[in-house]
Structure 1
């Protein structure tokens, strides 16, 4: 019969904390993972589907709902994980919660807080929506998604750029574009001796000859500026969704046809600036003696 060996004096003290820590980590991981999986698979799609059904003409609300609900699921998963780890009593202590929130807000930079606030303003703005074509001092493009800090914009070159929300709210946004059409503007300079009315009519006709240009609104041409050496005229025409059309090629084709048409009607594009000089030029010839020339040699 074997002899029983009593446990050492430090055996329970050493192993018990590690066992509690392991149980806490395991409880947090399991509870957080289950909550996040259910929220991501069930709650997020369901809520987004309901919001989309109630806001069929406002994709911005749908995109923002997906982002915000996802963040809410993350926060909820963290809280459930804390409860699963047996640390729920920490959350009931109001002073600890306030201290944690103060630490988070204090650690966040001013730019991040500003971007979050700007994102909320953009989402709530009825004139700023996913699907709109916008232009700002830093570029232009098609709004794809509005997140907490940045807005994703797809450019004419099919490049997706991330623009800080603060840049969009702090600057003026130009929106001569609808959700499903784009206004193209082209300017040209002609000479003062050219027939301006004829040039304006031809600009409109050149735009109408392109099947990609919309008939409604109708293309227009206006006199934009009387410069010191030339007259600036401008053509405006509309096309369908710019992301479905090669706008770069369309503009290039329009300029080429304008150049060919103006050559036919003898309208000068980009006339050289004429300058008239007046005055006189005098030349003084100094007579020098032969002795001076020999001394210089």
Structure 2
């Protein structure tokens, strides 16, 4: 008799597990392959110029489908009565909230703010104190950013909302800034003109906005000049190679026109040095 009771308990457990898996699997499959694509299509149709909303809709819809599938699975396992017990539900929610750290909760809240921010969108090139890159996706906890080295990094949402966030390069253009130091005895106007010509000789550089070269700083031992120009989408241009090519051409052009790059610092010393020699008598001197 005891063995029969145990067997019946195992059978009930197996039926419950099977019911949960089947019910949750069906609900998740319908939501994953039918509901989510439908929601995304509707959101994209209404927000064609805002890819952030479409990405967020997919992320949050997926979370909602998982939650609904879990509830359906519980019902399929015959445990729906547990959900009608208010005290059990409150205890479960308290456990979940208590287990979530403050950092995670802050990241979730920051993610919602980022999605709602009209000036922060998927496809933007952003810069923050920790780096810069192309926004690929805004998730619950992190924002995925692709860097110049074609690496995808996960940045906590709290880092983006707590620090200064800029979008200095626009959505389809990237600003390149290169600086050089030349000597005070060099022709500054000549150096600036040559820098602009070097920039314009590269087909990868955009004609608009016009490339510029300016005197940036009068240092203690050299003059800093700066070239600013723009290129297409930074993810379509090898910026590492472009910067290297520009520096090489600028160095060659300056050598041709007699402009010194990075002159060694020098100081002029004036004054006099005197040495007094004191002669002491030894005991055996006469």
Cα shift at 1:152? 1.1
Does 1:244 find its partner at 2:215?
no
**Cα distance in structure 2, aligned partners of 1:217 and 1:21:** 70
**Which one of 90, 98, 101 corresponds to residue 93 of structure 2?**
101
For 1:210-249, list aligned pairs within 5 A.
Answer: 210-249=202-241
Does 1:262 find its partner at 2:280?
no
> What residue ranges of structure 1 are gaps of 5+ in the alignment?
1-7
> What residue ranges of structure 2 are gaps of 5+ in the alignment?
none
RMSD between superposed Cα atoms in Å: 1.6
Equivalent pairs counted in the alignment come to 285
For 1:121-200, list aligned pairs within 5 A.
Answer: 121-200=113-192
Name 2:12's counterpart in structure 1: 20
**Cα distance in structure 2, aligned partners of 1:14 and 1:134:** 62
**Cα distance in structure 1, aligned partners of 2:64 and 2:10:** 32
Task: Give TM-score, length-normalised by structure 2.
Answer: 0.94
Cα shift at 1:290? 4.8
Other structure's SS at 1:233 match? strand
**Cα distance per residue 1:18-70 (max 9 Å; x no partner):** 22222211111110011011111111111112211221111111111111111
The worse-fitting range, judged by mean Cα deviation, of 54-63 and 284-293 is 284-293
The worse-fitting range, judged by mean Cα deviation, of 37-46 and 273-282 is 273-282
**Cα distance in structure 2, aligned partners of 1:128 and 1:203:** 34
**Cα distance in structure 1, aligned partners of 2:224 and 2:3:** 92
Other structure's SS at 2:43 match? helix
Other structure's SS at 2:78 match? coil
Cα shift at 1:250? 0.7
Task: Give TM-score, length-normalised by structure 1.
Answer: 0.91
Cα shift at 1:243? 0.8
